[in-house]
Structure 1
Amino acid sequence: MRGSPAGASFSAAAYLADVFKLKLADLHEGLVEADIKEWLVAEGDEVGEFEDLCFVMTDKASTEISSPVDGKVLKIYHPEGSTAKVGEVLVDIETDGPVAGSEAEAAPAAEPESAPEPAAAAAPAGGAGGEYDEQMITNAAGKSRRVPATPAVRGLARKHKIDLSQVAGNGKDGRVLKGDILKFIESGGAEGGLAPAAPQAPAGGAARAPAAVVPGESRTEKVAPVTKAMIRVMEEANAIPHFGYSDEITLNSLIETRLRLKPVAEAQGIKLTMMPLFIKAASMALTEYPILNSSLSGDKSEITYHGSHNICVAMDTPDGLTVPSIKSVEQLSILDIAAELNRLQELGAAGRLSRGDLEGGTFSLSNVGNIGGTYLSPVIIPGQVAIGAIGALRTLPRFDAEGNVIPAKVINVSWSGDHRIIDGATMARFSNVWKNYLENPDTMILNLK
């Protein structure tokens, strides 16, 4: 057996003479197949150890597959858009000579990350290609290989014109992390400081081109991995008895507050939308009503009250509906939340959300109002007990405290709760707390911890 470097997203490889056969791993429990989303190399390319070869899409996440060896790509077995089954060979890599052993086992390793850092969150999640993607370092054997780093880190390096070979990597096996890039910038190693990020598409605004259908001709296509995941989740959700509760929130004061905070966020490279404020207010309300941040055991005998508020945000991406989560919202500032939301939006738009991004949620919010709609019926994610859906922002005539008609900026929120453990009164009280924080943002600021 040959040990494999951390971060290499492969599972099994057989060495035959000087050809390394890289097979699709069982990347997570129960995986049967994966779609080849994008190849980052072509036949004939020289690749280095740790270098990203392709992205595969499963029903849980997009995963990088990296090369565990230096060599030359001889053959790619599965083109983009095709499906590979676990155990099938993805690519042949010619090496300098035969390697002892017949197989190597490894699982995809998550890159160590600290709490969301506002300055780095707007870094583009780039892939291979570009002026700074082919930076090389020399290994102990005197051979050059590509600097180990994720596409997101490479994108941040490109943005600031940083040669990755000049950055000390503190990750496993010298992998360059986001924090390493930031420290390099702070030490004056980059050309200029962090520039404000380009505006990102809102969570609900990522356009998805409809599949073309020729008039008079039917067409059958394979169900995509993201759709498979949605089918599975919705079938499980059918077992949850839903009940709904809706209310109207006036956002005039919150909009003014956001406009005052927006330049402060932009100075740190962060796009501040209304969503981070909605998320933080929800977390504060969950502190008062923790039953909404719980889960019911499979045998219905126990309720687990989760210590962290891992709030899922529904996103309409080019791959379909995805629901990543912002972890430990109760410990984050509004700017931290905005930075993490920026990161997730960028990765979602690029189809690069990891399994860690998509797992672990305890409560959900959907801002489908970015696309349209007023009142909705959101579906609870299995393993959770509540979800909220926010409708479109509208300007409507409303009465103020003195009875005068004013133009009010209003949204409607629709909550769904698991009626097995949440009653209507609890949901109404939770919603009232959330509503009060949004309509009176000064009270939210005073209660921030």
Structure 2
Amino acid sequence: MMQKEIKLPKIAEGVESATVTNILVSEGDAVEKAQSLIVVESDKASVEVPSEAAGKVSTIKVKENDEIKVGDVILVLESEEEEQSTEGAEEKEGEQPTEATIGKEVVKEKEEEPKKEKVSEEEKTEPKEGTERTAVKKEEKKGEVQPVAGGKVQPVAEKEKQPVIKPEEEEKAGEEDRVTKEQEIAAAPNVLRLARELGIQVNELKGSGPEGRILEEDVMAYAKEIIQGKGRRPVQEEPPLPDFSNWGEIEKVPLKGIRRATAKRTAVSWNTIPHVTHFDQAEISKIEELRANKNHLAEQQGGKLTVTAILLKIVAEALQEFPMLNASIDVNGQEIILKKYIHIGVAVDTERGLLVPVVRDVNKKNLINLSVELTELSEKARKGKLTVDEMKGGSFTISNVGGIGGTNFTQLIYHPQAAILGVAKAELKPIFIDGEFKPKLMLPLSLSYDHRLIDGADAARFLRWICDVIENPLNLLIDE
């Protein structure tokens, strides 16, 4: 039996590390080839890592919550497969080396040779040992003497060591450097302060004032260009945090996995997309009646007819009426990309953070099939079984927090999509109808949209269209 190291393979494009969330085997266990060994969670999905060979688990090299990189050893197997391949190699040992083999060995020997120091042209032309110039050169190399004019030499001190710069000193130096650079720029202090508050690098601006002086109008015009997608968005650096331990006990928890991915995505979304949110509400008594009457059809197939499932179908119909909300903007290419498919992501709250599985071709499926598929995807998300592909390709997103509570909320667009629908908790409200107040169950809705692509009037029409269908659901939602 030979030992075989099982390493973390590349689990998704662009993923170089992952967090171990579960270890599925123990030392001494016999495993089959392709049997799952551990579960890892990257910033894209949760994945089971299979064994490359059959054998017995000798040593487990990782533990839960470890952050491991692609190529790191997960565990060591005692495997017969490795032994067989090794035996085959031993049989070849007696064979005569071929020309190709000899070539490889020569290359290997050359690689193992220590690299020779390059000889400068000056050294090549140096006089031989024993001359006065050679003696000077030798002393110069030792750092004891240095040639000066007239052929004489004088002693010099050894090369001073580079000082060690502490992080706080480096940070202070960087801040002083930034202030110095700002002082060199022709702009008043109030203009510099405005640029800093907006996250704009003043050295990127062209001043319109006398002698190129930067004015407040220049800063505001540049900020407007960024919002309209014409200018380059500045990269804002996080200011350093204070030492919170000065005021009490603290605990530091690594930012990793889904939480780290969420932090990156939301920052990109907020810094890239000019968000606007429109609010509306819909009376849902007929939706609740539909759920009560048709839920058994979904349950027969293992699903559940929820408000989110119904909204999936309604939103798909709305996106066909308003295609700009199913688009993306390519600022660099100066194009609008209109998607002919309708794949809707649904935000799912899990113990590890927010995951967004995608229901594909929503417009081509009936309500019962959507209910079943959404139930399956939600369960996979909560159990950490979603694949990377099941979270890719969304063209619109729905986020329903009604089961938790709240009257309304604004939500971040899932970049590079154009919009996201937020759903809060339905509430019984007095609605004035035909001269009197009547109690109605109202569902708060919010639509966050990319103002570069979508005007406020179009966003209002889109959300009102959805509200109208909620208040008068069509039978074709079930039958088609």
TM range (shorter): 0.5 to 0.7
5 Å-filtered alignment, 1:138-149, equals: none
| CA gap 1:436/1:37 in 2 versus in 1, 3 angstroms | same
Distance in structure 2 (CA, Å) of the matches to 1:425 and 1:77: 58
Equivalent residue for 1:410?
442
Q: Which of 359, 366, 371 is equivalent to 1:333?
A: 366
- Shift in Å, 1:399: 2.9
The answer to whether structure 1 residue 55 and structure 2 residue 39 are counterparts is yes
| CA gap 1:311/1:39 in 2 versus in 1, 3 angstroms | same
Letter in 2 for 1:392: K
- Shift in Å, 1:298: 4.9
| 1:254-296 deviation digits (Å, cap 9, x = unpaired) | 1111110012222222221111101110000001111101111
Distance in structure 1 (CA, Å) of the matches to 2:387 and 2:400: 21
- Shift in Å, 1:20: 1.9
Equivalent residue for 2:392?
359
The answer to whether structure 1 residue 84 and structure 2 residue 56 are counterparts is no
- Shift in Å, 1:62: 0.5
Distance in structure 2 (CA, Å) of the matches to 1:281 and 1:268: 21
Letter in 1 for 2:43: D
Equivalent residue for 1:315?
348
Q: Which runs of 5+ in 2 are unaligned?
A: 87-246
Q: Secondary structure at the match of 1:63?
A: strand
- Shift in Å, 1:28: 2.2
Q: Which of 9, 15, 21 is equivalent to 1:37?
A: 21
Equivalent residue for 2:206?
none
Identity of aligned residues (%): 33
Distance in structure 2 (CA, Å) of the matches to 1:416 and 1:221: 31
After superposing the two structures, state which structure 1 stretch, 385-394 or 425-434, moved more: 425-434
Q: Which runs of 5+ in 1 are unaligned?
A: 1-16, 102-214
For the Cα contact (< 8 Å) 2:5–2:74, is it kept in 1?
yes
Equivalent residue for 1:174?
none
Give the number of aligned pairs.
318
Distance in structure 2 (CA, Å) of the matches to 1:349 and 1:440: 33
After superposing the two structures, state which structure 1 stretch, 325-334 or 300-309, moved more: 300-309
| CA gap 1:359/1:312 in 2 versus in 1, 3 angstroms | same
| Structure with greater helix share of residues | 2
Q: Secondary structure at the match of 2:43?
A: coil
Equivalent residue for 1:217?
249
The answer to whether structure 1 residue 279 and structure 2 residue 312 are counterparts is yes
Q: Secondary structure at the match of 1:369?
A: coil
- Aligned residues: CA RMSD: 1.8
Q: Which of 51, 57, 73 is equivalent to 2:57?
A: 73
5 Å-filtered alignment, 1:18-167, equals: 18-97=2-81, 98-100=83-85
For the Cα contact (< 8 Å) 2:357–2:378, is it kept in 1?
no
Letter in 2 for 1:222: P
Q: Secondary structure at the match of 2:466?
A: helix
For the Cα contact (< 8 Å) 2:280–2:445, is it kept in 1?
yes
Q: Which of 408, 420, 432 is equivalent to 1:399?
A: 432
| 1:121-167 deviation digits (Å, cap 9, x = unpaired) | xxxxxxxxxxxxxxxxxxxxxxxxxxxxxxxxxxxxxxxxxxxxxxx
Distance in structure 2 (CA, Å) of the matches to 1:382 and 1:417: 11
Distance in structure 2 (CA, Å) of the matches to 1:65 and 1:260: 43
Equivalent residue for 1:439?
471
Distance in structure 1 (CA, Å) of the matches to 2:80 and 2:420: 55
| 1:152-184 deviation digits (Å, cap 9, x = unpaired) | xxxxxxxxxxxxxxxxxxxxxxxxxxxxxxxxx
Distance in structure 2 (CA, Å) of the matches to 1:263 and 1:285: 26
Task: Report 1 or 2 for greater relative contact order, CA contacts < 8 Å, sequence distance ≥ 6.
Answer: 1
Rg larger in structure: 2
| 1:423-447 deviation digits (Å, cap 9, x = unpaired) | 111111111221111110136649x
Structure 1 consecutive aligned stretches of length 4 or more whose deviation exceeds 6 Å: none
TM-score by structure 2 length?
A: 0.64
Distance in structure 1 (CA, Å) of the matches to 2:249 and 2:15: 34
Q: Secondary structure at the match of 1:342?
A: helix
Q: Which of 282, 294, 297 is equivalent to 1:264?
A: 297
TM-score by structure 1 length?
A: 0.68
For the Cα contact (< 8 Å) 1:35–1:82, is it kept in 2?
yes
Distance in structure 2 (CA, Å) of the matches to 1:233 and 1:324: 15
For the Cα contact (< 8 Å) 2:319–2:326, is it kept in 1?
yes
